């Protein structure tokens, strides 16, 4: 009795088996043997009908294609109202067959039957999952009675179905709870390190960058972070200085003089005074020449 409590029920894969186990990577929180046991017995998991180490003496090492289970699934589909697909499918049919493109190396009848069986099983599994989800929604809404323990846990779960996708900062609004929401600062990674502030601690180029580092060719003896930070600071300072002096746009201001009457009168007086001064100088020069 004690041995049954610690042993793993059959079938299961032995721990250490490195072959493929469908959907094993999506199952967590249990031992390898228990997980593979649940997978092998789960009807919604697509896996082989035979175990890896199965007894082949019963069928004389022969495999019959298509298997009888696939034929039964296709015929059941036909009896449930599908007038098109029925086993055996006649070769030469040019209509559409679901999943037929994924089957190779078999006769048309075999490939068609196996493809239809695979498609029908997928449809049944998806329909069963959808019905289970709808039942959980009805239980949480109080529209039904729980049948077993799993239904009771589903009905009293903290998160109700259907789940509503919301942003984390809007969770307090949906739950009617007061919530202090900090302001969202813009991401710093969107700013190029070339134009960050010189005091910014992120103003450097990561180690391994093989592109051009401005002002970096004349620096030696420092770590990559300090060297690129110093080079980028010099580049930014020189860039901003030249941007404000050499590259600054030149504003041409045109002096417009208003020709008012007062301005014209002043201009006339200045002209007369200059003329009289010139005449006086000429007379003085003439008299001095005559007297000599």
| Domain residue extents for the chain | 1-59, 64-181, 193-244
pTM of the predicted protein model? 0.37
Identify the CA nearest to 106 among candidates 115, 93, 98.
Answer: 115
Q: Pick left, alpha or beta for residue 265 (phi over 0 → left; psi -120 to 50 → alpha; otherwise beta).
A: alpha
How far is 239 from 104, CA to CA, in rounded Å? 66
Q: Which residue has the tokens 């201009």?
A: 267
Identify the CA nearest to 97 among candidates 122, 64, 108.
Answer: 108
Phi, psi angle pair for 265, to nearest 5°: -65, -40
Sequence-ordered alpha helix ranges (H) in the chain: 2-6, 32-41, 68-79, 108-140, 149-155, 171-174, 224-244, 261-291
> How deeply is 98 buried, as exposed, middle or buried, from its count of CB atoms within 10 A (0-12, 13-18, 19+)?
middle
Identify the CA nearest to 76 among candidates 106, 39, 116, 45.
Answer: 116
pLDDT in tens, the chain (292 residues): 455 556 778 888 888 888 888 888 888 888 898 898 888 888 788 777 666 665 556 555 556 678 888 888 888 888 777 777 778 877 877 778 887 887 777 788 888 888 888 888 888 888 888 888 888 888 877 777 777 777 777 777 777 777 666 666 665 555 555 666 677 776 666 678 888 888 888 888 888 888 888 888 778 888 888 889 989 898 888 888 887 777 667 666 555 555 556 666 677 778 888 888 888 878 777 777 666 5
């Amino acid at each position: 009795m004690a041995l049954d409590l610690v042993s793993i029920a059959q079938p299961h894969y032995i721990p250490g088996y490195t072959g493929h186990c469908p959907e094993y990577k999506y199952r967590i929180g249990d031992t390898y043997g228990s997980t593979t046991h649940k997978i092998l017995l789960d009807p919604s998991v697509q896996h082989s009908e035979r175990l890896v180490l199965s007894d082949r003496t019963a069928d004389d090492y022969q495999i019959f294609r298509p298997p009888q289970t696939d034929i039964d699934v296709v015929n059941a589909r036909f009896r449930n109202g599908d007038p098109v697909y029925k086993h055996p499918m006649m070769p030469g049919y040019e209509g559409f067959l679901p999943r037929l493109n994924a089957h190779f190396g078999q006769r048309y009848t075999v490939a068609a039957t196996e493809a239809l069986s695979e498609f029908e099983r997928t449809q049944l599994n998806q329909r069963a999952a959808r019905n289970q989800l709808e039942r959980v929604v009805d239980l949480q809404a109080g529209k039904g009675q729980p049948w077993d323990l799993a239904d009771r846990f589903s009905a009293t779960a903290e998160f109700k179905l259907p789940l509503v996708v919301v942003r984390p900062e809007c969770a307090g609004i949906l739950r009617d709870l007061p919530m202090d929401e900090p302001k969202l600062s813009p991401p710093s990674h969107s700013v190029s390190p070339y134009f960050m502030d010189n005091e910014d601690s992120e103003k450097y180029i990561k180690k391994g960058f093989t592109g051009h580092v401005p002002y970096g060719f004349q620096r030696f003896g420092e770590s990559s972070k300090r060297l690129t930070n110093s080079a980028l600071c010099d580049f930014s300072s020189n860039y901003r200085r030249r941007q404000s002096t050499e590259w600054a746009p030149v504003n041409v201001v045109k002096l417009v003089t208003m020709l008012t009457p007062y301005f014209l009168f002043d201009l006339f007086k200045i002209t007369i005074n200059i003329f009289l001064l010139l005449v006086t100088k000429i007379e003085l020069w003439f008299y001095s020449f005559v007297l000599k």
